[in-house]
Amino acid sequence: MNERATLKTIAKATGYSITTVSRALAGYDDVAEATRAVIQSSAQQLGYFPNLTARQLQKQRTDTIGIILPSVGPRFADPYFSLILAGIGDEIAVSGYDILISTRPPGPAELEAYRSIVEGQRVDGIVVIRTRLEDERIAYLAERGFPFVAFGRTTLDLDYPYIDEDGEAGTYELILHLAQLGHERIAYIAAPQHLTFGYNRLKGYKRALDDTGLVYHPEYVEVGDLTRRGGSAAAEKLLAKPLPPTAIVAANDLMALGTMNHLQQNGLRIGIDISVAGFDDIPAAEALGLTTLNQPIFRIGHQLSQMLLAVIEGQHLAEPKLVLKPKLLIRASVGPPA
Amino acid sequence: MNERATLKTIAKATGYSITTVSRALAGYDDVAEATRAVIQSSAQQLGYFPNLTARQLQKQRTDTIGIILPSVGPRFADPYFSLILAGIGDEIAVSGYDILISTRPPGPAELEAYRSIVEGQRVDGIVVIRTRLEDERIAYLAERGFPFVAFGRTTLDLDYPYIDEDGEAGTYELILHLAQLGHERIAYIAAPQHLTFGYNRLKGYKRALDDTGLVYHPEYVEVGDLTRRGGSAAAEKLLAKPLPPTAIVAANDLMALGTMNHLQQNGLRIGIDISVAGFDDIPAAEALGLTTLNQPIFRIGHQLSQMLLAVIEGQHLAEPKLVLKPKLLIRASVGPPA
DNA sequence: TTGAAAGCGCTAACAA
DNA sequence: TTGTTAGCGCTTTCAA
């Protein structure tokens, strides 16, 4: 790297003080036009570019927001994360913000990462995605008074802005649909229950069984790790039951795809011999004809960005808490019981 | 936000100088153990955390690498980008680095973003993904002498470290396979030709036709925008030819999936009435039985991280230029011509 | 073993 | 209209 030009370089070159150079370049109107012209051309010629780190230190803001991703289990590679990231990134860029991403395994290292970028003042705000029922990240941020928004609710008694999907209502509607088709043995591949969405979706499953007069049998519920592989493994267990289910609903599409894989390998025809459904409506779902619940993850990312920017600016949020009802999409993977 | 503790706060609280506090906390051994103990406990109690921005300014390094993503066309939502990002993020985190992501539309704003994070010293190095034949980003970085690695070659006469896939050889092998099955009208949905990978993959297509005695007909080649929708549109055009192709090969899986969609909607059976193949082996490819070429994108991300770190540290790279041969995966989407 | 002073590059209050 | 001074929070040289 050739040495970079700083304000000092320009000051020396033009004979003006650093202050004047700074103000000329910043567009202040208390600089003589002639002076500004000289300084600007010198800056141009020297290839000057402001050191953003220095500016950040001075201004006490970074024009950057932070997102911390889990490094194990599903992450970027999970369409859920990619889509939300795309949505956030797209929208935040409009306001000239960048995104700082830290990848950490869940656990203490993760919380440390939050501490680090918050206390280290590396970002102006944070988006917490995939909340947990008792989310210590949110507890920390709220207690710290640091600007943040979350994708997901918690059971914490804290007042913070979020967007969440109504996973309970969505799953409820789906199970109801299956029951109306005549399914009586509807198995469920749940998400880990410390995750808010996992808990809510399972709740919808149980409530729907209740309301339709079907009995909730714990042996028809497996907990999966949200990956395709996990879905496949869970499906295997469910098929091995003495009385296998006629429909399998997974808490997310990825696991539903894994389930489909497994079923097909066992010669079962999806939607005919057995029904399968998921949740999320990731891009592959449509291609595979997977019945699922759509939530506009990409657009939620947009909204989260806008909310966070408002929070950072200290604005009042018109709707600080948003719960969206997902839309049931019936596709070929679901049919009446065989 | 409550006010944060700084070195000054601790200095005042303990009566030591800022210098001593700094060194005590940094673990220098020229500090009396008793002093260190006092300072540490004070730091603990005050909830001290170093201001990373200030440290960066002083140390002239950020422990951050930069990636600039296109905000239009396929991006995060494209498994290609998510996977490479996951690979990079995973591995870079091991060394304690973070990732700064800027989302920009291709064009001048994009190059500006590179300028901004480079000259603004916001990152220590950059990963350029999806290179173009004459890539002005690489020209800039190389000329600037800034640490970077690229996923993809260019036609520029510049010496820089990269990993690339041998898209030509991969496509060649695939087309050869189709020809051997008896296909004579093999259409191709190309990627934009200013993209290195798009150019190379098409080259493989042409060369394979040549070598198998088939004639290259430009009307059997459509250029797509790499999205599923684009693949579907291209497929429609190809099907409308007086003599439709018996096989359609897309330059990436996403377009291949779009092609499959379109064909199925028209009542064609994939792999029986017509063959389809892609490139990349994204997760959905396996589920859909799409014949494709696998490149270990995730692992390439890992390697790019390691290379970049080496470059940042000024180390010598054993293999600064890597071209990987993708692996042909024959799946159900391909069969002999009807 | 500790502290004073300088400096990373920038902005801003205040004085001239 | 311009410059002096101070300071953002940290590290590091050098002297005590």
Amino acid A83: pLDDT: 83
Q: List the CATH code of the domain at A7-50.
A: 1.10.260.40
Give strand pairing partners of A229. none
List of residues 6+ apart from A44 with CB closer than 8 A: none
DSSP E strands, B220-288: 221-223, 247-250, 275-277
How many CA atoms lie less than 13 Å away from A85 in the CB half-sphere?
Answer: 31
| Helix, strand or coil, per DSSP, at residue A144 | helix
Q: Which of residues 98-157 of B touch A (CB under 8 A)?
A: 98-104, 115-117, 119-122, 144-146
Chain A residues inside the 8 Å CB shell of B79:
77, 79, 82
Q: Contact at 8 Å (CB) between B121 and A48?
A: no
Token pair belonging to B208: 């394979």
Ranges of CATH 1.10.260.40 domains, chain A = 7-50
Higher pLDDT among residues A106 and A257, named by residue: A257
For residue B106, is pLDDT > 70? yes
Q: Which of A197, A142, A201, A192 is nearest to A169 (CA)?
A: A201
Which segments of chain B belong to CATH 3.40.50.2300? 64-165+297-325, 167-295
Q: Residue A75 above 60 pLDDT? A: no
Pick the more confident residue, B181 or B285: B181
Q: Which of A212, A210, A188, A187 is nearest to A201 (CA)?
A: A188
Q: What is the CATH number of domain B167-295?
A: 3.40.50.2300
Strand order in the sheet with A186-190: A221-223, A186-190, A247-250, A275-277
Q: How far apart are CA A318 and CA A307, in angstroms?
A: 10
Residues of A in contact with B85 (CB under 8 A): 76
Q: Is the pLDDT of residue A270 over 60?
A: yes
Q: Which of B319, B292, B181 is nearest to B246 (CA)?
A: B181
- Whole-number pLDDT of residue B76: 58
Computed on alpha carbons and rounded to an integer, the radius of gyration of chain B in Å comes to 26
Identify all chain B residues contacting A76, using CB atoms and an 8 Å cutoff.
82-83, 85-86, 89
| Protein residue at shortest CA distance from C1' of D3 | A17
Half-sphere exposure of A238 (CA within 13 A, CB side): 31
pLDDT score at A122: 96
- Predicted local confidence at residue A286, as pLDDT: 84
Phi and psi, residue A88, nearest 5°: -65, -50
Please indicate whether, in this complex, the C-beta atoms of A122 and B52 are within 8 angstroms of each other: yes
Beta strands in chain A (DSSP E): 64-70, 98-104, 125-129, 148-151, 162-165, 186-190, 221-223, 247-250, 275-277, 292-294, 321-324, 327-329
At B150, the pLDDT band (50, 70, 90 cuts) reads very high
Chain A contacts of B50, Cβ < 8 Å?
119-120
Residue B212 pLDDT exceeds 70: yes
| A95 at B interface, C-beta within 8 A | no
CATH T-level assignment (fold) for domain B64-165+297-325: Rossmann fold (3.40.50)
Residue appearing with tokens 């690229």: B150
The per-residue pLDDT for B283 is 77
pLDDT at residue B83, as a whole number = 83
Helix (H, G, I), strand (E, B), or coil: what is residue A45?
A: helix
* Closest of A280, A273, A292 to residue A335, by C-alpha: A273
Contact A51 B261 (CB under 8 A): no
* Residue whose C-alpha is closest to residue B244's, from B180, B333, B201, B184: B184
> What pLDDT was estimated at residue A290?
96
- DSSP class of B15: S
Residue A70 binned pLDDT confidence (cut-offs 50, 70, 90): confident
Q: Counting Cβ atoms within 10 Å, is residue B157 exposed (0-12), middle (13-18) or buried (19+)?
A: exposed
Q: Which residues contact B239 (CB under 8 A, 6 or more apart)?
A: B262, B263, B266
pLDDT of B291 strictly over 90: yes
What was the pLDDT predicted at A77? 62
pTM score, whole prediction: 0.91
Mutation site for A-interface testing, chosen from B81, B103, B281 by largest number of A Cβ within 10 Å = B103
**pLDDT (tens digit per residue) in A227-236:** 989 999 999 9
Q: Mean pLDDT of all residues in chain A?
A: 93
Packing angle between helix B297-312 and helix B79-94, nearest 10 degrees? 40
Chain B 12-71 residues whose Cβ is under 7 Å from strand C = 15-20, 23, 29-35, 54, 57-58, 60
Comparison of pLDDT for A107 and A193, the residue scoring more: A193
**What pLDDT is stored for residue A163 in this prediction?**
97
Average of pLDDT values for A97-105? 92
The reply to whether B294 Cβ lies less than 7 angstroms from strand D is: no
> Which nucleotide shows the minimum CA-to-C1' distance to residue A51?
C9
In strand C, the nucleotides that come within 7 Å of a protein beta carbon are 1-5, 7-13
With tokens 């990619």, the residue in question is A82
Q: Is the CB of A192 under 7 A from strand C?
A: no
Q: Mean per-residue pLDDT for B149-170? A: 97
The label of the residue with tokens 């296909």 reads B183
Average pLDDT, chain B: 93
Task: Find the residue closest to D12 using CA and C1' atoms.
Answer: B19
Does A170 score more than 70 pLDDT?
yes
pLDDT in tens, B50-70: 999 999 999 999 999 999 988
Residue in the block written with tokens 């955390």: B49
Assess whether pLDDT exceeds 70 at residue A2: no
- From the list B296, B325, B338, B324, the residue with the least C-alpha distance to B174 is B325
In the structure, what pLDDT confidence band is assigned to residue A224 with cuts at 50, 70 and 90? very high
pLDDT score of B2: 61
Of A161, A52, A144, A91, the closest CA to residue A301 belongs to: A91
- Where does the pLDDT of residue B77 fall: very low under 50, low under 70, confident under 90, or very high at 90 and above? low
Answer yes or no: is pLDDT of B1 > 80: no
The confidence score (pLDDT) of residue B24 equals 94
Residues of chain B by 3-state class (helix, strand, coil), percent to 5: 45, 15, 35
SS3 B335: coil
* Tokens found for residue A92: 């935040």
Average pLDDT over residues A226-250: 96
Q: What is the pLDDT of residue A48?
A: 93
d(CA A276, CA A306): 36
Which residue, B331, B273, B270, B74, is CA-closest to A287? Answer: B270
Query: What is the signed CA dihedral for A325, A328, A329, A335, rounded to 10 degrees?
Result: 170
In order of A292, B39, B139, B284, the CA distances from A253 in angstroms are 7, 52, 42, 11
Task: Say if CB B100 and CB A99 are below 8 A apart.
Answer: yes
Is the predicted pLDDT of residue B153 greater than 60, yes or no? yes
Structure confidence at residue B287 (pLDDT): 80
- Is the model's pLDDT at B73 over the cut of 60? no
Q: Do B288 and A283 touch (CB under 8 A)?
A: no
Q: Is A326 exposed, middle or buried (0-12, 13-18, 19+ CB in 10 A)?
A: buried
Interface check for B262 against chain A (CB to CB < 8 A): the answer is: no
Q: What is the DSSP letter of A270?
A: B
Q: Using the structure block, give the residue that is written with the tokens 């002239």.
A: B60
Question: Alpha helices of B240-335 — where are they, by DSSP H?
Answer: 253-265, 283-287, 297-312
